[in-house]
Amino acid sequence: MKCHWFHLMPYQDLPEDFKEKHPSVWVDVSSELFDPARGHQFYNEYLDQLEFADSLGFDGICVNEHHANAYGLMPSPNLILASLARRTSNSSLIVLGNSIALYNPPIRIAEEMAMLDCISGGRFVGGFPVGTSMDTNFAYGQTPLTLREKYREGHDLIIKAWTEPEPFVFNGKYNQLRYVNIWPRPIQKPHPPVWIPGGGSVETWDWVAEHDYMYAFLSYFGYEPATQVMQGYWEAVDRAGRDRNPYRAGYLQLIGVSETDAQAEKDYAEAASYFYHRCLHVPDHWAAAPGYLTLKTIKSLKSPFSFEQLADLKWKDFVEQGYVVAGSPATVRDRLVEVIKEMNVGQLFSLLHFGNLSAELTRKNTELYAKEVLPFLREQLWNEWEDRWAPRPLKEEDRMPVAAL
Amino acid sequence: MQEVKVAIRNGKFTTSMQWGGSGEPLLFLHGAGGPMLGAPFLEELAQVFTVYAPAHPGFGAGTGIEHIDDVIDFALYYHDFLDELQIDSPHVMGHSLGGMLAAEVAALAPYRINRLVLVCPAGLWLEDNPIPDFFTFNPQQMVEHVFHDPSGPMSQMFTEQLQSPEAQLEMYKCLASTGKFLWPIPDKGLKKRIHRLQLPTLLLWGASDKLIPPVYGEAFQRAIPGSRLVHFASSGHMIMLEEQDAFVEAVSDFLLE
């Protein structure tokens, strides 16, 4: 089992009446709510947390990309990883990822990721999300109906840019380049691992399975929908004639570890509520622009895609329905093993900071998880399988150490 | 009138079309809300004209949207349509998205079009009077923006029709296809081509159109020399439904001049 420490980097000072007074956390959220001095504090605190996770032996540290929002302060996750590449030495550096269709031309991604792979000595994992509708269609103006086609063309271009040794011509529908020849090139051959974060779009499953990539379901809606999505993915894996190696699947989970179940509520209930009721305060009209979801995906949904369903949930619901796995180490271990086995996932994106969780509690959560949960999961799960989706860094003796000045 | 199947470019595009009547040919290009194949105003116009009212690619039964990348591809598709159906010197009328399209069709080859009717067309952008982001509208907001009387029977009928999942899915599909031509801002270069509209042109605008406000009618009139602008006092964005008789009369009178 692989456990990664995933940071969303939320803005923590949204007011208590945010949901009532403000239309949305995304797209048209007022920048008057953002205090740059607090931004300074958050970025540095969050980088500390990711570096701490590396020092405790997490398999990977992970960040992602969002725009025009207070949910996650990383329009450029590659900047964050560049900093982490210099300050960590063991963990995989995972970006989940860069929204391909937003880069013009997308070889920019191939270049930056190759830089990150070189700086980190080959510890890099490149994730390629389509991106949310808020990020791609509304904040970045991409046409919803052609977003996925543009995304796939960009993907083909990036992979070719990484793997083709000589300059080549790329005559695409969205990109025309006479001379593609990126410098630097990634350390990892043929290219860094590609992980595809998804929100449950049907056609993504087949595409991921065909390409033999890792699929990461970034779910915030608890066990039931997550189980359904993973079931759909595994069926696509079967269709593609691939094995059911759990490492080809990942899953994001909010996790809170405390001394006891009761203490977990005291420690994490407020932050969970902040996350679900402020960070995910997204009205339906931003959730999916017309054309963002394919008709096939829409027909597969039981109810319209909506964040507004989260509005009334309380701590008890979060825990019972699996939005958050929280409690004593034993409770967390049991619940995680149950879910992980049920979904057959080998990569767990552990969200150990969420909402407005304090630095102190984040440290506690991370330490308890690293000590009481992570070793157990590693020992119990999936040792019979090989993780073919992990980065292949240079040998330790060939890697530059973190500099002590 | 009858509904007929049409195939264009050897079946690369297929669609349904409301077709019939007698008289000079009139091509009607529908708006973002979808084809209005059974609409009574088309029947009325068919008393005087031979009406061709197809569903666009990506709307209703229309296929082939994946072969159309932009509004020029879209306009050329309709030139192929006219070629293949051997429609000579048609009048062209377009509503909203279809109005923008009609203007583009005419701008590409003004000499092949007889007369042009633009019903509250999209296609221009006024910084001081931005067109609202209708892609984000829920049915209630849509009704408030497109109808003169948001609580009238027409609005209620529209709202009721949108209750069914099938209708919602069709609306989603229509808006998704519309996005190919109007996302994120409905300004795709018509201003560079509109000077070519040197043909008799009628502009029709609902006085209480909140989707594309009447100030856009004045902008179109200024940009198309000699064009005539007529307002409908009791209409919003759906003149052909809201004031059907006056609409049909205005269109017929103009086209038969």
Name residues whose C-beta falls within 8 Å of residue A360's C-beta, 6 or more positions apart in sequence: none
Residue-wise pLDDT tens digits, A293-327: 998 888 887 776 678 888 889 999 999 999 999 99
Q: Is the dihedral of CA A300, A306, A310, A311 positive or negative?
A: negative
Name residues whose C-beta falls within 8 Å of residue B140's C-beta, 6 or more positions apart in sequence: B159
Q: How far apart are CA A126 and CA A192, in angstroms?
A: 6
Task: Give the distance from CA A129 to its chain's centroid.
Answer: 9
Do the Cβ atoms of B15 and B55 come closer than 8 Å?
Answer: yes
Pairwise CB contact (< 8 Å): A145 & B184: no
Do the Cβ atoms of A126 and A95 come closer than 8 Å?
Answer: yes
What is the identity of the amino acid at B25?
P
Smallest Cβ distance to A298: which of B138, B169, B180? B169
φ, ψ for residue B59 (rounded to 5)? -130, 140
Residues of chain B where predicted confidence (pLDDT) is lower than 50: none
A141 interaction partners in chain B (CB closer than 8 Å):
183-184
Please report where in the chains the tokens 């103006």 appear, as a residue: A141
Q: Is A321 exposed, middle or buried (0-12, 13-18, 19+ CB in 10 A)?
A: middle
Smallest Cβ distance to B175: which of A290, A295, A298? A290
Pairwise CB contact (< 8 Å): B135 & A299: no
Pairwise CB contact (< 8 Å): A137 & B183: yes
Task: Give the distance from CA B238 to its chain's centroid.
Answer: 10
pLDDT of residue A312: 84
Name residues whose C-beta falls within 8 Å of residue A358's C-beta, 6 or more positions apart in sequence: none
pLDDT of residue A172: 97
Which residue, among B73, B183, B187, B188, would best test binding to A if mutated, counting the most A CBs under 10 Å from its CB?
B183
Residue A405 confidence (pLDDT) above 80: no
Distance to chain A for B245, nearest Cα, Å: 33
What is the identity of the amino acid at A319?
V
B172 interaction partners in chain A (CB closer than 8 Å):
290-291, 295, 298
Q: What is the DSSP letter of A372?
A: I
Pairwise CB contact (< 8 Å): B135 & A286: no
Pairwise CB contact (< 8 Å): B65 & A144: no
Which residue, among A145, A173, A286, A294, would best test binding to B if mutated, counting the most B CBs under 10 Å from its CB?
A145
Mean pLDDT confidence for A58-63: 98
pLDDT of residue A255: 97
Query: Does any CB of chain A come closer than 8 Å to the CB of residue B71?
Result: no
Q: In the structure encoding, which two tokens stand for residue A388, read together?
A: 């073919």
Q: How do strand B25-29 and strand B91-95 relate by DSSP bridges?
A: parallel
| Bridge partners for A347 per DSSP | A2, A250
Residue A365 confidence (pLDDT) above 70: yes
Closest A-chain CA to B172: A290
Query: Does any CB of chain A come closer than 8 Å to the CB of residue B183?
Result: yes
Note the pTM of the prediction, 2 decimals. Answer: 0.95
| Bridge partners for B54 per DSSP | B17
Distance to chain B for A179, nearest Cα, Å: 25
A290 interaction partners in chain B (CB closer than 8 Å):
135, 172-173, 175-176, 178-179
Distance to chain A for B67, nearest Cα, Å: 12
Where residue A105 falls among pLDDT bands split at 50, 70, 90?
very high
B65 interaction partners in chain A (CB closer than 8 Å):
145
Residue A349 confidence (pLDDT) above 90: yes
pLDDT of residue A201: 80
Query: What is the biggest distance separating any 2 CA atoms in chain A, rounded to whole angstroms?
Result: 62
Do the Cβ atoms of A196 and A214 come closer than 8 Å?
Answer: yes
Task: Give the distance from CA B69 to its chain's centroid.
Answer: 19
Q: How do strand A194-198 and strand A214-217 relate by DSSP bridges?
A: parallel
Residue A200 confidence (pLDDT) above 90: no
B136 interaction partners in chain A (CB closer than 8 Å):
285-286, 289
Pairwise CB contact (< 8 Å): B184 & A137: yes
Pairwise CB contact (< 8 Å): B138 & A144: no
pLDDT of residue B226: 95
Q: In the structure encoding, which two tokens stand for residue B111, read together?
A: 């000499």
- Tell me what ipTM this predicted complex has: 0.94
Pairwise CB contact (< 8 Å): A290 & B178: yes
Query: Does any CB of chain A come closer than 8 Å to the CB of residue B157?
Result: no
Query: Does any CB of chain A come closer than 8 Å to the CB of residue B106?
Result: no
Query: Does any CB of chain A come closer than 8 Å to the CB of residue B169?
Result: yes
pLDDT of residue A199: 80
Smallest Cβ distance to B179: which of A284, A291, A295? A291
Q: How far apart are CA B122 and CA B115, in angstroms?
A: 18
B184 interaction partners in chain A (CB closer than 8 Å):
137-138, 141, 143
Residue-wise pLDDT tens digits, A13-31: 999 999 999 999 999 999 9
Q: In the structure encoding, which two tokens stand for residue A405, read together?
A: 């000045």
A284 interaction partners in chain B (CB closer than 8 Å):
138
3-state secondary structure chain B: CEEEEEEECCCCEEEEEEEEECCCEEEEECCCCCCCCCCHHHHHHHCCCEEEEECCCCCCCCCCHHHCCCHHHHHHHHHHHHHHCCCCCCEEEEECHHHHHHHHHHHHCHHHCCCEEEECCCCCCCCCCCCCCHHHCCHHHHHHHHCCCCCCHHHHHHHHHCCCHHHHHHHHHHHHHHHHHHCCCCCCCHHHHHHHCCCCEEEEEECCCCCCCCHHHHHHHHHCCCCEEEEECCCCCCHHHHCHHHHHHHHHHHHHC
